[in-house]
A and B are shown apart, each in its own frame.
Chain A
């Protein structure tokens, strides 16, 4: 490789700097197979990225985008190689007006073979509407904090799990896979610290009721690597690591460090949001979801395979930011943008 060329690992990228002069990290031969960093467990060779921008991202943006923009975004994300793209949410538009066009979006997207398009279904009613609109995978959201559950979905954690049982039964019968989420795994905006054992309890319930995967969410982004490790240690006693994902918020800038720790502990599924869409509703002006571009950049620099084409992903990010009339929250995208 000639000096001056920076090769993009694991992307559909030729030699040389990428478009717009993007300087991409390149792992050296010594770390070619994502071997362990300083004697820790080896990092996974592959990581599945679950793209939550169209749902979690847009749901938390002030500007509401029309269905055709959402559809175009999802189609661009499909082209970028993401294997899972959370498309929309079947909650009542009374609560989440941003997702009122749920049916139109589901019907309008071009479904790429091999890509899943899960949708949120908070209850049986939402589930039925989702399946009717063509959903082939759904997701349910639990919380590790009682107060958060009450304030967010107006019921206790136990009550929410009972609602989910109904969804699980129906989904099981119809062979629709269900993904579970646990909010507040590293802290709650109302309760403060959350015990790892509580997180493990909720995660175990979701897993044993039939969720094929449980995504552990640092809802307020206050977690740090030590807390992430402690929480995972507790959860992994109850749920096998291959069924775990992390959903980190970057509100305190800790997301990538937390994700790295999760990888070091065997997690190989990471949620992220294109352009870091979705601010933190609990701290005005603060960032929320970690940007998919920044996660992919790190993973590729670690020689971890994601299947994602970073330049195409960045195109999707630029597109949605233009539509939202806002600046990207992705540092990789900012770095590559020559103003």
Chain B
């Protein structure tokens, strides 16, 4: 790969660092394939200040559908009273060009949301639990136990409709209100979601405060109760720890990673701080490790560029920053 002087990686020929050179360290420790769950259009856009029109959301999802990503979280069927950015959930879900190779899960916090989602054509849904009581109360106005009961309703209805359900556990490595979260708390909730019928449980470092140490401890506890193939990690990069945490999870056998194109979605708990880890940066690392993802990095970068122009903000992806030849100026008045 020829590297130019000014930008040492050309778009479309993204270097992913030197190959493995047959290093036994790498081949023994990592999964051959990692599934990326792209959460940009939902988790990302939901946490952006700038509201994005429906057609932009649809275009973003359509672009992502062409990148090789196999799961793209499309929208959220919560009341627009609470999450105004997702008010156009019906239009988005019915407007996207669904690729046969991609699944488009949507968030459904309760049975009403689930029913609306199914009516709009949802073929997969997701429910969000929390490992922290305080977070549960502040975020969705009910205790963890109450939320589990709501999810049970959703999962039952989903089972009847043969719709798979993914579970999320927030605050898996710490809570903005409670601080430290014990791995046993995470295990309890993860196990419950799995036993209720979630095919996969994504463990979220909601505040990004986790480190490789706390990730390892938490996963060790959860893996004792939930099979590893049913686990995913959803890391936030608020403290710059996301890739190291993901690496740790991979070394422990996790093979599903959530991420957000362009690192969309700031952290609502620390103003100005970043939130979701960037899909581009994750894919770069995985490919550099020789791990297959099926994802075309250059196309993800393009989708990221597109949404950042629409949001009038620079990308949070370092790979994208490093490979872009010309930096669009976001300081100009338009």
Contacts and interface: CB of A to CB of B under 8 A. Distances in A.
Interface stretch (B5-13, B56-64, B84-92, B135-143): B5-13
Contacts of A287: 318, 321
B214 A285 contact: no
A252 B252 contact: no
Given A38-B251, A195-B18, A336-B270, 9 more contacts: A3-B180, A25-B241, A224-B17, A252-B318, A254-B17, A284-B7, A331-B238, A331-B273, A338-B271
A230 interface: yes
Nearest to B263: A253
A47 interface: no
Interface stretch (B145-153, B154-162, B280-288): B280-288
Given A224-B288, A230-B20, A260-B244, A4 B179 contact: yes
A303 interface: yes
A286 interface: yes
Contact of A282 (B5, B176, B209): B5
B332 interface: no
Given A37-B251, A187-B18, A252-B281, A24 B209 contact: yes
B25 A229 contact: yes
Across chains A and B, which 3 residue pairs bring their CB atoms closest together, nearest first?
Answer: A224-B288, A301-B211, A331-B240
Contacts of B23: 226, 229-230, 233
Interface in B205-241: 207-214, 216-217, 220, 237-241
Interface string A245-271: 000001111101101110001000000
Contact of B251 (A40, A187, A188, A231): A40
B174 A334 contact: no
Interface string A174-191: 000000000000111111
Given A186-B17, A221-B322, A226 B209 contact: no
A251 B322 CA distance: 6
Given A257-B244, A257-B247, A301 B179 contact: no
Contacts of A330: 240
B170 interface: no
Contacts of B246: 257
A31 B247 contact: no
B290 A226 contact: yes
A284 B178 CA distance: 41
Interface string B14-28: 011111111101100
B130 interface: no
A253 B286 CA distance: 12
Interface of B: 1-3, 5-9, 15-23, 25-26, 29, 173-174, 176-180, 182-183, 207-214, 216-217, 220, 237-241, 243-244, 246-248, 251-253, 267, 270-274, 278, 281, 284-285, 287-290, 317-319, 321-324, 327
B239 A332 contact: yes
B3 A190 contact: yes
22 contacts: A3-B179, A4-B179, A26-B214, A34-B213, A186-B17, A187-B15, A192-B1, A196-B18, A226-B17, A226-B288, A230-B21, A252-B17, A252-B318, A253-B285, A257-B246, A261-B25, A282-B6, A283-B6, A284-B6, A287-B321, A302-B212, A332-B240
A259 B243 CA distance: 11
B7 A30 contact: no
Given A37-B248, A229-B26, A257-B243, A338 B270 contact: yes
Interface in A323-339: 330-332, 334-339
B318 A286 contact: yes
Interface stretch (A92-100, A127-135, A291-299): A291-299
Contacts of A229: 23, 25-26
Contacts of A214: none
A222 B17 contact: yes
A188 B180 contact: no
B210 A301 contact: yes
Interface residues of A, number: 76
Contacts of A300: 211
B55 to A, nearest CB: 29
B246 to A, nearest CB: 8
Contacts of A303: 213
Nearest to A220: B8
Contacts of B238: 331, 335
Contact of A226 (B19, B281, B318): B19
Contacts of B211: 25, 27, 297-298, 300-302
B240 A3 contact: no
Contact of A337 (B216, B272, B319): B272
A312 B191 CA distance: 41
Nearest to A35: B216
A5 B174 CA distance: 11
A17 interface: yes
A40 B278 CA distance: 27
B213 A224 contact: no
B237 to A, nearest CB: 7
A27 B217 contact: yes
B179 A5 contact: yes
B318 to A, nearest CB: 3
Contacts of B1: 192-193
A297 B244 contact: no
Contacts of B8: 187, 189, 220, 222, 282-283
A284 B20 contact: no
A23 interface: yes
Contacts of A339: 271-272
